[in-house]
Homo-oligomer: A and B are copies of this chain.
């Protein structure tokens, strides 16, 4: 006898809200491949999305691959295009997203370079995408791109953490803005290999608090940890929070949206991938005073790839969130579909409590 009621989560009728054709490439010789995984903030009367925009050089010859990479030129960094011969046995071209150098068994190019770009909306649904970058790769740790961002409002300052990728590894960097016009970089806060960092919007026990997701090489798996900080730039007191669990999250898990506060605890919408690399979203409820304590966790995903724009795209079968708005008891989940588009799903907090069993 089946007693589970399907979770009542509503995809927005206008989904997908933003697609690559809504985004102008920064350069005429590049195309926009993907727009996805946006940081989310409410700023004055606007909803802000900090989009991850992946652009790649226009290709001219099917036997070649033109790849973007940042190179230092004097004191500044500029995007170069390297042309690789697809018959070059030194490289492995089998993954459409990246190129591996065989002898050192590591990826040495991505096929696209991501930057972070603002989109603004009055109603949270119809967005205007800016034509310029907000955070563009500009140092050695960003040579392969700047990726998924999360935005946390703390004492009037919007802190933006994002993934900085280079030949030195996948790291998490921090920046801040007060006006979404100018932005100041604050350096690397989690060293390689770490992404899916979400900073809580309040101090807890006198310290800043974050979820992070280290990826170990030899022992262990891609799972969620916590850390504290006295100042947002230096992090420690690392603790393991939760690991891979049900089938839908059996390959890896990681933080998703910036956690939001409810009367029952901190709610974190996180992602899990199964063994086929199908990414879904779950929720976990953490203790208000000590987020290292898990109160409840959804057994099944609250959102999984089902719509066409989630199932098919640059990297199919993916829903992935970097941010939500929690307003009027509705959780508005902005998410990437198929690593390709921006979409929105809404769930009432009472329904989320029900899914959490609290």
Top 3 nearest A-B pairs (CB, nearest first) are A169-B220, A234-B236, A169-B216
A49 proximity list for chain B (CB < 8 A): none
Count of chain A residues near B, Cβ 8 A: 46
Contact stretch, chosen from A185-193, A308-316, A350-358: A185-193
A104 proximity list for chain B (CB < 8 A): 221
Given the known A-B contacts A234-B228, A236-B189, A240-B141, are A217 and B215 also in contact in the complex, defined by CB atoms under 8 Å?
yes
Q: Is A246 positioned at the interface, with any CB of B under 8 Å from its CB?
A: no
Q: Is A238 positioned at the interface, with any CB of B under 8 Å from its CB?
A: yes
Against B, the Cβ 8 Å flags (1 = close, 0 = not) of A207-236 are 000001011111111010101111101111
Q: Which of B187, B188, B216 contacts A192 (CB 8 A)?
A: B216
A234 proximity list for chain B (CB < 8 A): 228-231, 234-237
**A236, B188: Cβ atoms closer than 8 Å:** yes
A191 proximity list for chain B (CB < 8 A): 190, 194, 212, 214, 225, 227, 238
**A218, B187: Cβ atoms closer than 8 Å:** no
Given the known A-B contacts A191-B227, A214-B193, are A167 and B236 also in contact in the complex, defined by CB atoms under 8 Å?
no
**A171, B238: Cβ atoms closer than 8 Å:** yes
**A170, B219: Cβ atoms closer than 8 Å:** yes
**Could you jot down 21 A-B contacts, CB within 8 Å?**
A167-B220, A170-B220, A171-B238, A188-B239, A190-B238, A191-B225, A192-B214, A192-B216, A192-B220, A193-B193, A193-B214, A193-B216, A193-B217, A193-B219, A193-B220, A217-B217, A228-B234, A233-B237, A234-B234, A234-B236, A235-B236
Q: Is A348 positioned at the interface, with any CB of B under 8 Å from its CB?
A: no
Q: Is A168 positioned at the interface, with any CB of B under 8 Å from its CB?
A: yes
Q: Is A144 positioned at the interface, with any CB of B under 8 Å from its CB?
A: yes
Q: Is A107 positioned at the interface, with any CB of B under 8 Å from its CB?
A: yes
* Alpha-carbon distance A32/B223, docked complex (angstroms): 34
A238 proximity list for chain B (CB < 8 A): 171, 187-191
**B106, A219: Cβ atoms closer than 8 Å:** yes
Nearest residue, chain B, Cβ from A174? B236
A169 proximity list for chain B (CB < 8 A): 214, 216, 219-220
Q: Is A140 positioned at the interface, with any CB of B under 8 Å from its CB?
A: yes
* Alpha-carbon distance A214/B107, docked complex (angstroms): 17
